[in-house]
Amino acid sequence: MAPRQFRRKLNKMPKNLYKLIELLLSEIMPPSNQSPTSAYDKCYYFVKTEFSLMPLFYRIPIYILIQLFFFYCFIVSGCSSFNSLTQAKQKKLVTRWEKLWHPGYILFRLIRNLVYLCYFSQSATEIKKARSEDSFQASYCLTMPSMLSCDVLVIGAGVGGTTLAHELISAGIDTLLIDEGPFIKDIYQRPAFQNFSDVWRCGGLTAAFGKPPIAYAEGSCVGGGSEINSGIFQSAPAELLNELAKKYSIEEFNSVTLQAYYEKAEAMVNAQYLEPKLDSLTLEQAAHQLNWKGTYLKVAQKNKVKQSMCETLLPAALDKGLRLIAQCKAKKLILKNGQVTEVRAIATDHTGQKHTFRIKAKSVFVCSGAIYTPYLLLKSGIKKNIGRSLQMHPTLKTLCHFKNPVSQEASSVPSYAITEFMPEIRIGGSVMSPTFIAMSIAEDWKNRHELLNKMNYCGVYYAMIKPESMGKIRYIPGCKDPLVTYKLSGTDWAQLFKGLDYLQQTMFAAGATQVIPSVENHKGWYEKTSLDTIKTLKQNTFNLMSIHLFASCPMGEDKAQCAVNSFGKLHDYQNLYINDASIIPEALGTNPQGTIMALALRNAEHFIKTRSSE
């Protein structure tokens, strides 16, 4: 079978999947809502779309597991198809399959997560409504094959790329900004499940392989991570910046030098302290009771609207003459004599038609994030110190039940954090909308289903660590996505156990009646437990995640360990630069957006000065 035919086959999910989704929905839908099919249609369409967006490394085993499940049902039920069975028998088979085989448990955890995400978002009719209202900005799509030229090409319209493009166009430099994702207006008014498919990289279904795997999230749209993150704005600890400057021989990187850029970035996105809400007050109360240090964090927000790149710097840059092409993916950098001579790209227009074209630029900045920047460079044959030092913030969540309601606004994230143990460990809160609470319940339906009717009293809080371990990013010919691996060290596990200990102490001090860690088949704690008990948990049962990625192309003058110089220029290349989280040499222990913006402002200023002198 040809590779293209095989991919098409993977995108066609079994017809029995519709009946399976119908069964899973029956677990959560009120009896009065059992008759309409719109919810079934919506969830089936969403799950099918999400599976088609998954990287091939995950899609193949998922496809095989689904086929194996239906084959198992066929054999056990006496050669009857899954669709022909009663709902009671179907439910029994699902339960047996989950207990029988660990991959089966993982499969249904994934499908339940997607179904619950979709169901607790808005109705299927709003998918058509949102698209008919032209939320996709088609005017920024390329409509025909072209040969384009510019002074500076910026690949990736995330935090780093947009900040850089804004500074370059403000200096009068002809700048072209491209991004493989769509340009969507009013992103926050769209249903959550729709944004997962359109805005999140691979539908939000990405993970670094390891024991256990670590799920990570990236934006894949114009605005990048600023469109999906919490908007929390932090400076990196001064001691850490000074330490990194010395360790990696980074010029003009100390805390004093960067402070002015942090302040400028903060003003650009209107970062400010917000009025405390219940979810934040819960953490603050616990910190006071435990006599631990904590602080409120600034959030990029204005008039209750998150100040992402699409709300702030991008409109300003477009008004100044920035050229933007959305849904345009850089496929390869063409190199000759230490220079990028052209960039080959493929663009999708508003009808879905693809166009290949070339871009010639005097200087090229790759700003595609800590995963896809090294991936593009590796594809283009650039390998030295690329993709070998990826770091992230491994994070463990807990689902907590309280006596009193906890805030559940549409995108509420607590702005308070316990900083007693930083930078090694930070305690904070996650999104607490009904959709995301339901996904936490779906993670272990057997032990958590009773909380479905108590969601107003539930909150999701986390412990995040600054690791010492590193991951790797690999380019596999024929695959459109990179292979990411990450192995936690013994020290990292010690920090995770400590983090979970501090987290459960925090939650019980805050008044929680039950604390359920994101660990497979864990029934939760009803009272404070000990660190020794926590250490008995099996490492491969932890469900870890991260939304902060760093260090895959570290900066510094030490060519032995760094990919780029102190200002983002690739060593041994004349016109190629990187300007995103991948150049931050190590995980910071803080939210990275502020540091990414500060470095982008600093590096843009240096580029403009150097260019003028030349």
Alpha-carbon distance 292 to 362, whole Å?
53
Q: How far apart are CA 240 and CA 246, in angstroms?
A: 10
Spatial neighbors of 489 by CB under 8 A, at least 6 apart, are 467, 468, 469
Give the helix/strand (H/E) hosting 404.
Answer: none
The answer to whether the CB of 366 falls within 8 A of the CB of 177 is no
590, amino acid identity: T
Identity of the residue numbered 281:
L
Helix axes 125-132, 38-53, angle to 10 degrees: 60
Q: Give the residues across from 525 on adjacent strands.
A: 515
Contact 237, 423 (CB under 8 A): yes
Neighbouring-strand partners of residue 97 = none
Query: How far, in Å, CA of 577 to CA of 568, rounded?
Result: 5
* DSSP 8-state assignment for residue 28: T
CB 148 within 8 A of CB 359: yes
CB 360 within 8 A of CB 375: no
Cβ atoms 483, 503 nearer than 8 A: no
Within a 10 A sphere around the Cβ of 613, how many other Cβ atoms?
Answer: 6
470 contacts 551 by C-beta, under 8 angstroms = yes
Backbone angles phi, psi at 442, to 5 degrees: -65, -25
How far, in Å, CA of 357 to CA of 330, rounded?
10
**SS3 at position 50:** helix
Cβ burial, residue 56 (10 Å; 0-12/13-18/19+): middle
Phi-psi region of 120 (alpha: psi -120 to 50; beta: other; left: phi over 0): alpha
For 195, the token pair is: 């944004």
Strands 305-306 and 271-272, how do they pair? unpaired
Angle, helices 102-119/192-199, rounded to nearest 10 degrees: 120
Amino acid letter, residue 413: V
Our separate counts of H helices and E strands in the chain read 19, 24
CA dihedral 124→128→131→132, nearest 10 degrees, is -150
Give catalytic status of residue 548 as yes or no: yes
Give yes or no for a contact between 282 and 406, defined as CB atoms under 8 angstroms apart. Answer: yes
| Residue 460, beta-bridge partner list | 399
- State how far the Cα of 389 lies from the Cα of 584, in Å rounded to an integer: 11
Q: Which of 166, 393, 522, 548 is catalytic?
A: 548
- Cα diameter, the chain: 80
Element (H, E) at 606: helix 593-613
- Distance CA(25)–CA(28), nearest Å, equals 6
Q: Which residues are catalytic?
A: 548
